[in-house]
Chains A and B, each alone.
Chain A
Amino acid sequence: MSHVNHHKKSAPLNLAGARRSARCGLAWLILFSLMLGAGLSLAYAAEAKKSPAALIPKVRKNNLAPLAAGEKVVASHGPFEDGDCGICHKNKEAQNPGPLTAPANEQCLSCHEEFTQIMARKSSHGAARESCVSCHNPHNAKLPKLLVDEVGALCLSCHEEIKNLVTQAQVTHGAMDTEAKCLNCHNPHAANVEHLLTRLPFDLCINCHGQDGVKDHADKSLTNFKTLLAENPQHHGPVSSKDCSACHNPHGSEHFRLLGFDYPAQFYSPYDSKFYALCFECHEETILSTPETTSLTQFRDGNRNLHYLHVNKADRGRTCRACHEVHASKQPHQIRDAVPYGAKGWMLKINFTPTPTGGTCAKTCHAAKSYTNTAVANPGPNK
């Protein structure tokens, strides 16, 4: 992950630019009004569609005039800095630059030509396609990269759905408010992965969650997934697909560990299908709601569905984690080696041993028990 530090030291105060800004203030006021009238009148035209994405404005209204004299300039655009108004405007004079000689994005791309290629990537930012000045001031700015507002505030000013999620989330993600914020994961112009992600989700997450010493808000150490996955070759489907977002919402969540849907937080839980909404976004609910089956699972003793037996209880139902690792394991089906037991975190061995027609769990939560399914002799459909 490219962590851009936006707290780095500001560039020296640009007095030349500030003086010029005062000179051409009136001209800019007129030009800005014209631009607003002509180009930005469609700014907040919401499309009549259900998708929240349709409610995101196409462009952002900004004051594109140079900063007033005395304001702290952190970034100044080369041509403006040098007083070369004629690079973009009809006239060379700062006092009377006149209109642009070409539409804004065309102007930008004539120098920043690499963006023609960048914007051709699979996923491009609507605001950038529409107008570079949605986010950048073409003259100068108080922020690096000529940004009109801070990353985060700038993004959320249009992406209200995410803003609501972030501000209302009971569980927040450190990546949202540290270092480059949104740009920790997103390329604001275009990317080869959907949602402007600079890489596939796992490849992004592993940048932080692939090292020791990362802690959550409660100062609890978080798993180093590089180590975990290297030591445990059986990976859960979404992990293999590099799709951490299948289960986690990286922007914020009302569920522990940023989970996207309900999943019991404790080892034991009374059974209710809605508590397992996260799992049922991919897995079949019937595996936990059907007492007898010959097809839904191989974890059965004859017809007796042992998933149902363990989980579907009115009080102390075992949650999935009692037997399965959610990310990776040494055994197939993410069956774990051991479960934490007691306050001191002692790992109680499950001692699961597979057999051709079932398996055995020995001296763990219960005395050694074996099961035999009939799958080999009479293969069922859903295993």
Chain B
Amino acid sequence: MKPCFSWMVVASLLAAPGVRAFAHAQIGSVIDNIALTALDGTPQPLLSNATANVFVFFKPGQENSRATMIHLEACAREMAAKSVRWVAIVSDRFPKADVQTAVQETGLTMPVLIDAGDALYGKLGVVLSPVLGIVDQDHKLVAYEYFTKVNFTEVVRARIRYLLKEIDAQELARVLNPSAAIPGAEAEKARRRFKLAEKLFQAKSYEKALENVNESITKDGTVAVVHALKGQIHVALGNREAARGAFTEALKLDPANASALEGMKSVEK
């Protein structure tokens, strides 16, 4: 049941963009490869034969667009060697000078295509900007991402990598729904004490090593190597019975623990 449930969660996460109230461009629909005019006056197709086609609608003079374009440009450069084509799209409502200023400010190098009369805005039902679409080699829309202030580029990068088959669905789901990063678990502290005990043991400071290894076990007594180290420390201190007890604990937790097996042999000689 568990794997099945986790895949259902993954599937629902991946499907999420398609169910947004204002997502007029339907995921899975084929996008017409219309010709647009670039900012420099040259004709440019909206899409290419690249594995991933990314288009992003932006507005000059809008902070969200500015920040997005800076991050996406960095992302495009990072993916320059991959089969990804990026284009930025801007409405011809905006004066060319404003668009040029925005391009300059954001360091945009991807083609900037002019949407005359908001034809493409209308065709795709774009009501919010910035907004980004990802289209596959068959020109099917695979993702339609609304701007978010946090993790937007991270999500875009992951969606592209998923399309390029560089990551699997579970990895994509991990990016879409990142795990919490709350510090301070007891197991972490136990591990730290163990590492300190290891160092003290190497420095032949056995009594202090024993204190730390005991503290580690108090915080988390489920780790075989920690008990094995405790056994080694007792051996060094000449406490054969205590060492045997520690090695026994280690072997209960991990019967194949090499250090405990070796230690047990030495105390049984």
Q: Which residues of A contact B (CB under 8 A)?
A: 2, 4, 78-79, 82, 84, 86-87, 110-114, 118, 121-122, 187, 189-195, 197-201, 203, 234, 237-238, 240-243, 245-246, 261, 280-284, 286, 295, 332-333, 380-383
Contact = CB atoms under 8 A, between A and B. Distances in A.
B150 interface: yes
B97 interface: no
B212 interface: yes
B127 A382 contact: yes
Contacts of B196: 78-79, 87, 111
Nearest to B118: A381
A213 to B, nearest CB: 24
Given A200-B150, A243-B150, A283-B127, A190 B195 contact: no
A243 B150 CA distance: 7
15 contacts: A78-B212, A87-B196, A111-B199, A191-B178, A193-B151, A197-B150, A198-B181, A200-B178, A237-B21, A246-B149, A281-B63, A282-B129, A282-B146, A382-B126, A383-B22
Given A192-B181, A280-B62, 7 more contacts: A4-B184, A82-B208, A87-B200, A193-B150, A237-B22, A381-B122, A382-B122
A111 B181 contact: no
B180 interface: yes
Q: Which of B20, B181, B188, B195 has the most CB of A within 10 A?
A: B181
A194 B154 contact: yes
B25 to A, nearest CB: 11
A380 B63 CA distance: 28
B24 interface: yes
B125 interface: yes
B77 interface: no
Given A111-B196, A194-B151, A382-B122, A87 B203 contact: yes
Interface in B155-185: 174, 177-184
A241 B199 contact: no
Interface string B18-32: 001110100000000
Contact of B200 (A84, A112, A189, A199): A84
A346 B212 CA distance: 65
B182 A246 contact: no
Interface residues of B, number: 46
Contacts of B191: 113-114
Given A86-B203, A241-B148, A381-B123, A199 B180 contact: yes
A195 B150 contact: yes
A283 B178 contact: no
Contact of A382 (B121, B149, B195): B121
B82 interface: no
Contacts of A203: 180
A189 B203 contact: no
A145 B122 CA distance: 56
B64 interface: yes
B64 A191 contact: no
Contacts of B22: 237, 383
Interface of B is mostly: loop
B75 interface: no
A114 B147 CA distance: 34
A200 B154 CA distance: 12
A351 B122 CA distance: 30
B205 interface: yes
A382 B174 CA distance: 33
Contact of A122 (B20, B126, B178, B199): B178
Interface string B42-64: 00000000000000000000111
Contacts of A333: 21
Contacts of A118: 181, 183
Closest 7 CB pairs of A and B: A381-B122, A192-B178, A191-B181, A243-B148, A111-B195, A245-B149, A282-B128
Given A87-B200, A237-B20, A113 B195 contact: yes
Interface string B182-210: 11100010011101100110010100100
Contact of B122 (A2, A122, A234, A380): A380
A199 B90 CA distance: 33
B93 interface: yes
A2 B192 contact: no
Contact of B192 (A111, A198, A201, A380): A111
Contact of B64 (A82, A281, A332, A382): A281
A118 B63 CA distance: 32
A187 B182 contact: yes
B150 A201 contact: yes
Contacts of B178: 122, 191-193, 199-200
B246 to A, nearest CB: 21
Contacts of A234: 21
A243 B149 contact: yes
Nearest to B199: A87
A112 B199 contact: no
B150 A112 contact: no
A381 B118 CA distance: 9
B154 A114 contact: no
Contacts of A4: 184
A193 B62 CA distance: 24
Contacts of B184: 2, 4
Given A84-B205, A187-B183, A199-B180, A381 B121 contact: yes
Nearest to A77: B196
Contact of A284 (B129, B146, B177): B129
